[in-house]
Structure 1
Amino acid sequence: MRHVLAAATLAVSATACVSPATPDTEPKGVAVDPISWGPCTDIVRPDGQKPAREDPGIRCGKLTVPLDYANPDLGTIDLALIKVAARDQSRRLGSLVFNFGGPGGSGVDTLDQAAKMFGTLRSRYDLVSFDPRGVDRSSGVRCGDNADMDAYMELDTLPPNETTRAAVRAANQRFAELCKRDASRLLPYVGTVNAARDMDRLRAALGDAKLNYLGMSYGTQLGAVYATEFPKKVGRMVLDAPLDPAVTFRQRTLAQTRGFQQAYESFLKDCVKQGCELGASVKAADATVMRLMNGLVGKPLPVDGRRLTQGLAATGLAAALYSEMTWPFLETALARAVKGHGDALIYLADSYTGRSKDGTYTTQMSSFPAITCVDSAERPDEAELTRTWKEAIKISPLFGSEGAGGICTFWPAAGSDQARQVNAKGSAPILVVGGKGDPATPYQWAPRLTRQLGNATLLTYEGEGHGSYSSGNKCIQGMVNSFLLKGTMPNRAASCAAA
């Protein structure tokens, strides 16, 4: 969930390519061919190294889908896939499809790196993920070159005044022009409704009568839209760290600003409790961080031929707030930067923005606005954006911004609200998992999505971090695994204490 710097593009007339689907039928219009699985040859990890292929069960493939489901004559695109084969093929339950969030994150890369986390599920499922349309290997949206992306990511977001805001908006417009120039053909077709239809083709190509699915963060919206479009095809579905698709851009921005500010304060409290390099009290530690951030404005730290700007430092800080497990590294990164060494903070920022050591980027930071803006008909005017920005910076000068509305005001493809309207009536029961300390998808969104689906059960995690299953909490993992492997739904109002 991108929140630090909002990208925007130039508004032009376009048609949002979502049309009513025929629910619960096998995909029509284009034949669903079997997937040809082979070696994974193009996965490169952020450190620039290709992973050792010690696991023969990891294979890659592709699936061909229509660019426009309403007009198959426009051609096709190929979706990149990855499969981690079940350990016990004799007791195999089928495939378990993952989306790890974003929107815009590569499922191929993430499952390759995170497969060990899901070892219990792998005992009886083939674990499958994919790069959704508009992401990386699946006709990824790219806006500008690597130098353009560097300039955009480096932009300062402090001080929180009109001058800074004007600079951000100018950069957003420049980014918009690049997206229009480089990706205009693809932009109308990358929304979540089309991605859900892709996922149903994937289900059919895998040979599964029902879709078993684990979606995280944005992946919860994708799962909810799938359940709305294809309720009778839902198997065992888990939605972890849920997004409320009905919220407006303003509501989303304010909720996430509060979430990151609260996570930042929790980090400071924990840091002080453990003996903090940044200060002996929360107030002192916060003052140290803010001196660092303000000091970087216009005066970046040199880092191996690059520079740690205030904007990159804030992005690195926010990236580490996603998981309590990265808080010790965040303390070290901030302390090093205070001493003039920006390497650790820039590493955190790069991990968030998808920048590799060689200076190339994934499509994450371009795919995010492309999908977000097509998924909403909202195009806030200046008065609404100003209102949002003023309220957000009151909550947190560091994390406050115009939010996604600042992107979509300028976007060159029209949006549709179809992906914001979910109702899974008629589907199999769905498990929703929400975390009380989640900064990116605040907890209040979990009961809201549960109610919207109409047939879901909410499981609550009392701990910190974005995503409950990935926190490593044994209680959460046990309940989710039991549901996916045995079909055992937790009791209503079930909760798990923080570890």
Structure 2
Amino acid sequence: MLVAAATLSACTAGPSVRPEIVTNDGAGGSTTQSVQPNEVPPLEEADSNIQWRTCSGEIRDALSTPQIPGWLKINCGRVNGVLDSPYAPDRGTARIQLLKAGDGPVPIAVVNDVDGTPGTIYAARLAASLPQAFFQKFQLIGMDRRGTGNSAAVNCVPQQIRREMIEPDPAALDVDAWFEAAQTAGQQCSITLERQLPAIDTWRTAADLDSLRSGLGVSRLNAIGHGEGSRVVSMFADRFPDRVGRLVLDGVPDPTPDAQLAFEGVAKGGEAAWDAFVADCVQRRCELGTAPERVISDLMGRLRTNPIPGNEGLDVTAGAAMHAIAIGLSDRRSWPALATALAKANGGDGSGLLTILTPTAVGSDVQVASLDGALVTICNDMKTRLSPDQVRNAAEDWQDRFPLFGPVAAQRLAFCGPWTVPDHPLPTPTGRGAPPILVIGTASDAVTPLDGSQRAAQQLDSGVFLSWQGAGHGALGFSTCATTAAIGFLTEGAVPRNGTVCPP
């Protein structure tokens, strides 16, 4: 359990402005408080019209492992956003699933990666890692992004096509096959979703945050964005700068419109995260022994010729194993489970890797595969469309420089190549006119690499950058220094010094 009053070892924060908590008595948060761009807004208590109820059995089951502490009260609700398809602007309904963790009077919205754990579940797990005293003042409101989780999750890619996207060995650099599978996936999603397809993107999800703000009855929204979810929060700041409260972005994707450059960073970050995983594995004396890299190299060689039969949705091939490793590296807490899964696969049992892959590539009776919603959102957001030759050139270059994750990043880059031109490609957010925004980067992050997060902070007019010299995807809940700085910013309005570095 982290302690809010812990000393910031090698982590220096600026002076606290200690704003008071004010009660918002305007209906729907319609009155926006006047705040200068360099000022931290005061906190507001919720005056919510959202109906909070006991969460469904599905959500309770998802929170049973690991168990949420008994002191943390969990409830669920919904808010309606505007679908806003380009075929029916400002019309239609997007029903958004919410989860409230804690009972403090001041709400903080939480948004996660589009291809990660649903925002509701992520918010509850994040809350469990924070000090109990934090919830005397705050409540975390996790939001499943439109098209994911329980917010009308997209289910448009046939399972056979998912297999064709996941099972092939990225190292074979079969770019034409990547494009063929992606083109079929795009066609099927276009047929299934029809006019809803272009409405599932980050630009419109940012408006869902404003619908949440209104439902909570506050004039300014406090929020935490994790990983790619930070892009939604920063876009909210760009679209609604006068409605921004205290924002913390924990790992932000590279804001460059050059998709090739962004995915190159992901390949580099994956290699760094893998090196950190190997070092952690050896230090813990994990099941992979003293030379995990050699074990994995041997495993991949065997899987290329003799895949491990799986279930009817997926086999454990070299490609599936690499995607499982990429997913496992994204959550520091899952590193022991990833090591165990790889050791079991080395002995011919692929069940552990399938457990990691199933939520993404197969889904279950109660939750569709997250690959579909991620594919639609990411490709709708992406401005550039690369040809097979461009992807092939990048893949060959990255395979030389980033042997493990270069091919994986190139394959993911190819998935949006055949996608139709988006209705509203995501602009680079600047948050012009917004109050200070705390941006946290992690040195060895396989999803949102440090360099990209730093560039994102520089693009924000009021961005304040803090880095953690650790490993994993995101720092909140892992780095005492970074977590304490974020708590100080949210609670006291204490803005860390730009460029602050937290130790590993």
TM-score category, normalised to shorter length: 0.7 to 0.9
Matched, 1:448 2:455: yes
Distance 1:476 1:73, change over 3 A: closer
Q: Which residue of 1 aligns with 2:56?
A: 41
Match of 1:190 among 192, 200, 207: 200
- Deviation sequence 1:324-360 (CA, Å, 0-9, x none): 443333333222221212222222223554734x5x6
Report the AA paired with residue 150 of structure 2: R
Distance, in Å, in 2 between the alignment partners of 1:319 and 1:449 is 23
Displacement after TM superposition at 1:129 (Å):
1.7
Distance 1:105 1:273, change over 3 A: closer
Counting only pairs closer than 5 Å after superposition, residues 375-390 of structure 1 correspond to structure 2 as 375-390=381-396
Counting only pairs closer than 5 Å after superposition, residues 274-313 of structure 1 correspond to structure 2 as 274-275=284-285, 277-278=287-288, 280-281=290-291, 285-303=292-310, 307-313=315-321
RMSD, aligned CA: 3.1
Aligned to 1:97, the other structure's residue is in SS state strand
Taking only the aligned residue pairs, the percentage that are identical comes to 27
Aligned to 2:443, the other structure's residue is in SS state strand
Report the AA paired with residue 94 of structure 2: I
Displacement after TM superposition at 1:458 (Å):
0.8
Q: Which residue of 2 aligns with 1:424?
A: 431
Q: Which residue of 1 aligns with 2:329?
A: 321
Q: Residues 46 and 355 of structure 1 are in contact (CA less than 8 Å); yes or no, is this contact kept in structure 2?
A: no
Report the AA paired with residue 39 of structure 1: T
Q: Which residue of 1 aligns with 2:109?
A: 97
Structure 2 gaps, min length 5: 1-28, 33-47
Q: Residues 134 and 186 of structure 1 are in contact (CA less than 8 Å); yes or no, is this contact kept in structure 2?
A: no
Q: Which residue of 2 aligns with 1:4?
A: none
Distance, in Å, in 2 between the alignment partners of 1:45 and 1:270 is 31
- Deviation sequence 1:50-69 (CA, Å, 0-9, x none): 99996794222222222217
Distance, in Å, in 2 between the alignment partners of 1:237 and 1:465 is 21
- Deviation sequence 1:441-464 (CA, Å, 0-9, x none): 111112211111011211111111
Distance, in Å, in 2 between the alignment partners of 1:46 and 1:336 is 26
- TM-score of the aligned structures, taking structure 1 as reference length: 0.82
User: How many residue pairs were aligned?
Assistant: 456
Match of 2:401 among 395, 398, 411: 395
Displacement after TM superposition at 1:238 (Å):
0.5
Counting only pairs closer than 5 Å after superposition, residues 67-466 of structure 1 correspond to structure 2 as 67-68=83-84, 71-72=88-89, 74-87=91-104, 92=105, 94-103=106-115, 105-118=117-130, 119-145=132-158, 147-148=159-160, 151-152=163-164, 154-161=166-173, 164-275=174-285, 277-278=287-288, 280-281=290-291, 285-303=292-310, 307-350=315-358, 353=361, 355-356=363-364, 361-401=367-407, 402-412=410-420, 414-417=422-425, 419-466=426-473
Distance, in Å, in 1 between the alignment partners of 2:119 and 2:384 is 28
Report the AA paired with residue 416 of structure 2: C
Distance 1:382 1:165, change over 3 A: closer
Match of 1:62 among 67, 78, 83: 78
Distance, in Å, in 2 between the alignment partners of 1:280 and 1:105 is 31
Structure 1 gaps, min length 5: 1-23, 28-32
Displacement after TM superposition at 1:434 (Å):
0.7
- Deviation sequence 1:252-285 (CA, Å, 0-9, x none): 211111111122223223434454654544xxx3
Distance, in Å, in 1 between the alignment partners of 2:57 and 2:380 is 29
- Deviation sequence 1:432-491 (CA, Å, 0-9, x none): 1111111211111122111110112111111111100132x2111111111101111112
Aligned to 1:259, the other structure's residue is in SS state helix
Q: Which residue of 1 aligns with 2:7?
A: none
Displacement after TM superposition at 1:382 (Å):
2.7
Distance, in Å, in 1 between the alignment partners of 2:340 and 2:50 is 45
Q: Which has the larger displacement, 439-448 or 332-341?
A: 332-341
Distance 1:73 1:44, change over 3 A: closer
Aligned to 2:298, the other structure's residue is in SS state helix
Distance 1:263 1:157, change over 3 A: same
Q: Which residue of 1 aligns with 2:41?
A: none
